[in-house]
Amino acid sequence: MVITIELNKRQERILQIVKDDGPITGEHIADRLNLTRATLRPDLAILTMSGYLDARPRVGYFYTGKTGAQLLTDKIKKLLVKDYKSIPVVVNESVSVYDAIVTMFLEDVGTLFVVDEKSLLVGVLSRKDLLRASIGKQELTSIPVNIIMTRMPNVTMCEQNDLILDVAGKLIDKQIDALPVIKETDKGFEVVGRITKTNITKAFVALAGEELL
Protein backbone atom coordinates (compact mmCIF):
# COMPACT_ATOMS: atom_id res chain seq x y z
CA MET A 1 0.00 0.00 0.00
CA VAL A 2 1.15 3.53 -0.67
CA ILE A 3 0.84 6.57 1.50
CA THR A 4 1.31 9.76 -0.43
CA ILE A 5 1.61 12.48 2.10
CA GLU A 6 3.10 14.88 -0.39
CA LEU A 7 1.55 14.74 -3.83
CA ASN A 8 3.40 16.05 -6.85
CA LYS A 9 2.02 18.92 -8.97
CA ARG A 10 0.39 16.66 -11.53
CA GLN A 11 -1.25 14.52 -8.87
CA GLU A 12 -2.60 17.69 -7.22
CA ARG A 13 -4.07 18.79 -10.57
CA ILE A 14 -5.68 15.39 -11.14
CA LEU A 15 -7.14 15.51 -7.64
CA GLN A 16 -8.60 18.97 -8.33
CA ILE A 17 -10.16 17.86 -11.61
CA VAL A 18 -11.77 14.82 -9.96
CA LYS A 19 -12.93 16.92 -6.99
CA ASP A 20 -14.58 19.42 -9.35
CA ASP A 21 -15.95 17.10 -12.02
CA GLY A 22 -15.86 13.51 -10.76
CA PRO A 23 -16.86 10.86 -11.45
CA ILE A 24 -14.66 11.24 -14.50
CA THR A 25 -12.88 8.66 -16.66
CA GLY A 26 -9.11 8.42 -16.97
CA GLU A 27 -9.51 9.27 -20.64
CA HIS A 28 -11.22 12.56 -19.82
CA ILE A 29 -8.71 13.50 -17.16
CA ALA A 30 -5.94 12.88 -19.70
CA ASP A 31 -7.70 15.12 -22.27
CA ARG A 32 -8.03 17.92 -19.75
CA LEU A 33 -4.29 17.79 -19.05
CA ASN A 34 -3.27 17.26 -22.69
CA LEU A 35 -1.55 14.04 -21.74
CA THR A 36 -1.98 10.45 -22.79
CA ARG A 37 -3.81 7.96 -20.62
CA ALA A 38 -0.58 5.95 -20.36
CA THR A 39 1.34 8.91 -18.94
CA LEU A 40 -1.30 9.41 -16.28
CA ARG A 41 -1.52 5.78 -15.27
CA PRO A 42 1.16 5.84 -12.51
CA ASP A 43 -0.33 9.00 -10.96
CA LEU A 44 -3.83 7.54 -10.99
CA ALA A 45 -2.49 4.33 -9.46
CA ILE A 46 -0.81 6.27 -6.63
CA LEU A 47 -3.90 8.38 -5.98
CA THR A 48 -6.11 5.29 -5.86
CA MET A 49 -3.78 3.16 -3.76
CA SER A 50 -3.24 5.94 -1.27
CA GLY A 51 -6.99 6.34 -0.85
CA TYR A 52 -7.46 9.86 -2.24
CA LEU A 53 -9.43 8.56 -5.22
CA ASP A 54 -11.65 5.59 -5.80
CA ALA A 55 -12.25 4.02 -9.20
CA ARG A 56 -15.41 2.29 -10.40
CA PRO A 57 -15.46 0.35 -13.65
CA ARG A 58 -17.33 2.17 -16.42
CA VAL A 59 -18.01 5.13 -14.09
CA GLY A 60 -14.56 6.55 -13.56
CA TYR A 61 -12.63 8.16 -10.76
CA PHE A 62 -14.22 9.95 -7.85
CA TYR A 63 -12.88 11.79 -4.84
CA THR A 64 -13.10 9.94 -1.50
CA GLY A 65 -13.10 13.17 0.49
CA LYS A 66 -10.37 11.99 2.83
CA THR A 67 -7.52 14.30 3.83
CA GLY A 68 -3.91 13.16 4.10
CA ALA A 69 -4.22 13.08 7.90
CA GLN A 70 -7.37 10.90 7.77
CA LEU A 71 -5.68 8.51 5.35
CA LEU A 72 -2.65 8.26 7.62
CA THR A 73 -4.90 7.54 10.61
CA ASP A 74 -6.63 4.80 8.58
CA LYS A 75 -3.24 3.18 7.92
CA ILE A 76 -2.11 3.44 11.54
CA LYS A 77 -5.30 1.71 12.61
CA LYS A 78 -4.45 -1.23 10.37
CA LEU A 79 -1.04 -1.97 11.95
CA LEU A 80 -1.31 -5.25 13.86
CA VAL A 81 0.81 -6.80 16.59
CA LYS A 82 1.34 -10.00 14.57
CA ASP A 83 3.12 -8.09 11.79
CA TYR A 84 5.61 -6.31 14.05
CA LYS A 85 6.22 -8.61 17.03
CA SER A 86 9.61 -10.09 17.93
CA ILE A 87 10.58 -13.47 19.33
CA PRO A 88 10.00 -13.56 23.11
CA VAL A 89 12.80 -14.38 25.53
CA VAL A 90 11.49 -16.45 28.43
CA VAL A 91 12.98 -17.84 31.63
CA ASN A 92 11.58 -20.41 34.02
CA GLU A 93 10.29 -19.04 37.33
CA SER A 94 12.78 -21.15 39.27
CA VAL A 95 15.93 -19.68 37.67
CA SER A 96 18.06 -17.38 39.80
CA VAL A 97 18.27 -13.62 39.50
CA TYR A 98 21.91 -14.13 38.48
CA ASP A 99 20.92 -16.41 35.57
CA ALA A 100 18.21 -13.97 34.50
CA ILE A 101 20.78 -11.15 34.36
CA VAL A 102 23.05 -13.33 32.22
CA THR A 103 20.13 -14.22 29.91
CA MET A 104 19.19 -10.56 29.53
CA PHE A 105 22.74 -9.73 28.40
CA LEU A 106 23.17 -12.75 26.13
CA GLU A 107 19.79 -12.31 24.44
CA ASP A 108 20.17 -8.52 24.26
CA VAL A 109 16.66 -7.72 25.50
CA GLY A 110 15.34 -5.36 28.16
CA THR A 111 12.41 -7.49 29.33
CA LEU A 112 12.19 -11.20 30.14
CA PHE A 113 8.94 -13.11 30.42
CA VAL A 114 8.72 -15.67 33.19
CA VAL A 115 6.95 -18.99 32.65
CA ASP A 116 6.11 -22.03 34.79
CA GLU A 117 7.02 -25.65 34.05
CA LYS A 118 4.03 -25.85 31.64
CA SER A 119 5.47 -22.86 29.70
CA LEU A 120 2.57 -20.65 30.80
CA LEU A 121 3.12 -16.98 31.61
CA VAL A 122 3.51 -16.20 35.31
CA GLY A 123 5.42 -12.90 35.33
CA VAL A 124 7.65 -10.21 33.81
CA LEU A 125 11.18 -9.09 34.66
CA SER A 126 12.55 -5.72 33.63
CA ARG A 127 16.09 -4.34 33.90
CA LYS A 128 15.14 -2.33 36.97
CA ASP A 129 13.66 -5.37 38.71
CA LEU A 130 17.03 -7.11 38.33
CA LEU A 131 19.00 -4.01 39.36
CA ARG A 132 16.81 -3.57 42.42
CA ALA A 133 17.46 -7.16 43.47
CA SER A 134 21.19 -6.59 42.97
CA ILE A 135 21.37 -3.61 45.32
CA GLY A 136 20.91 -5.73 48.46
CA LYS A 137 23.47 -8.02 49.95
CA GLN A 138 21.62 -11.19 48.94
CA GLU A 139 23.34 -13.96 47.04
CA LEU A 140 21.99 -13.48 43.48
CA THR A 141 22.50 -17.11 42.56
CA SER A 142 20.13 -18.24 45.29
CA ILE A 143 17.16 -15.89 44.81
CA PRO A 144 14.62 -17.29 42.30
CA VAL A 145 13.15 -14.75 39.89
CA ASN A 146 9.58 -15.46 41.01
CA ILE A 147 10.35 -13.59 44.24
CA ILE A 148 11.13 -10.33 42.45
CA MET A 149 9.10 -10.41 39.20
CA THR A 150 5.88 -8.54 38.48
CA ARG A 151 3.42 -11.41 38.65
CA MET A 152 0.09 -12.41 37.17
CA PRO A 153 -2.61 -11.08 37.18
CA ASN A 154 -0.72 -7.78 37.10
CA VAL A 155 0.99 -8.43 33.77
CA THR A 156 -0.24 -6.29 30.88
CA MET A 157 -0.52 -8.41 27.75
CA CYS A 158 -1.67 -8.25 24.15
CA GLU A 159 -2.76 -10.64 21.42
CA GLN A 160 -1.70 -11.20 17.80
CA ASN A 161 -4.64 -9.35 16.27
CA ASP A 162 -4.50 -6.33 18.57
CA LEU A 163 -3.70 -2.95 17.09
CA ILE A 164 -0.17 -1.57 17.48
CA LEU A 165 -1.89 1.70 18.40
CA ASP A 166 -3.60 0.04 21.42
CA VAL A 167 -0.30 -1.52 22.51
CA ALA A 168 1.38 1.89 22.33
CA GLY A 169 -1.42 3.28 24.52
CA LYS A 170 -0.86 0.54 27.11
CA LEU A 171 2.91 1.12 27.18
CA ILE A 172 2.33 4.82 27.84
CA ASP A 173 -0.46 4.23 30.36
CA LYS A 174 1.45 1.68 32.43
CA GLN A 175 4.87 3.31 31.89
CA ILE A 176 6.46 0.07 30.73
CA ASP A 177 8.71 -0.90 27.82
CA ALA A 178 7.28 -4.20 26.59
CA LEU A 179 4.23 -6.45 26.46
CA PRO A 180 4.13 -10.20 26.02
CA VAL A 181 2.07 -11.31 23.03
CA ILE A 182 -0.02 -14.17 24.35
CA LYS A 183 -2.32 -16.90 23.13
CA GLU A 184 -5.05 -17.87 25.56
CA THR A 185 -5.56 -21.61 26.12
CA ASP A 186 -7.73 -23.49 28.67
CA LYS A 187 -4.63 -23.93 30.80
CA GLY A 188 -3.46 -20.31 30.78
CA PHE A 189 -1.50 -17.90 28.63
CA GLU A 190 1.19 -19.08 26.22
CA VAL A 191 3.80 -16.49 25.25
CA VAL A 192 4.04 -16.27 21.46
CA GLY A 193 5.84 -12.96 21.04
CA ARG A 194 7.11 -9.69 22.41
CA ILE A 195 6.23 -6.12 21.52
CA THR A 196 8.54 -3.35 22.67
CA LYS A 197 8.97 0.35 22.04
CA THR A 198 11.50 -0.66 19.35
CA ASN A 199 8.87 -2.66 17.43
CA ILE A 200 6.56 0.33 17.54
CA THR A 201 9.33 2.60 16.27
CA LYS A 202 9.85 0.13 13.40
CA ALA A 203 6.15 0.21 12.55
CA PHE A 204 6.31 4.00 12.51
CA VAL A 205 9.30 4.00 10.15
CA ALA A 206 7.68 1.37 7.89
CA LEU A 207 4.64 3.61 7.57
CA ALA A 208 6.77 6.45 6.25
CA GLY A 209 8.78 4.07 4.03
CA GLU A 210 5.65 3.00 2.17
CA GLU A 211 5.62 6.39 0.55
CA LEU A 212 8.65 5.35 -1.49
CA LEU A 213 6.92 2.36 -3.10
Residue ranges in contact with ligand ADP by CB under 6 A: 110-111, 124, 126-129, 150, 154-156, 175-179
Of 30 and 148, the one with the shorter C-beta distance to ligand ADP is: 148
- Supply the DSSP string of 56-71, one letter for each residue: ETTTEEEE----HHHH
Residue 206 Cα distances to 2, 57, 140, 163, angstroms:
11, 32, 41, 15
Closest approach, Cβ 106 to ligand ADP, in A, equals 17
Of 119 and 154, the one with the shorter C-beta distance to ligand ADP is: 154
Of 4 and 85, the one with the shorter C-beta distance to ligand ADP is: 85
Of 25 and 156, the one with the shorter C-beta distance to ligand ADP is: 156
Residue 209 Cα distances to 41, 205, 206, angstroms:
22, 6, 5
Closest approach, Cβ 129 to ligand ADP, in A, equals 5
Sorted by sequence, the CB contacts under 8 Å of residue 132 that are 6+ apart come out as 148
Closest approach, Cβ 152 to ligand ADP, in A, equals 9
Residue nearest to ligand ADP (CB): 128
Closest approach, Cβ 181 to ligand ADP, in A, equals 11
Of 13 and 170, the one with the shorter C-beta distance to ligand ADP is: 170
Closest approach, Cβ 178 to ligand ADP, in A, equals 6
Phi, psi at 53, each rounded to 5°: -120, 155
Which residue, among 41, 67, 145, has the nearest Cα to 99 in the 3D structure? 145
Q: What is the rounded distance in angstroms from the CA atom of residue 110 to the CA atom of residue 3?
A: 33
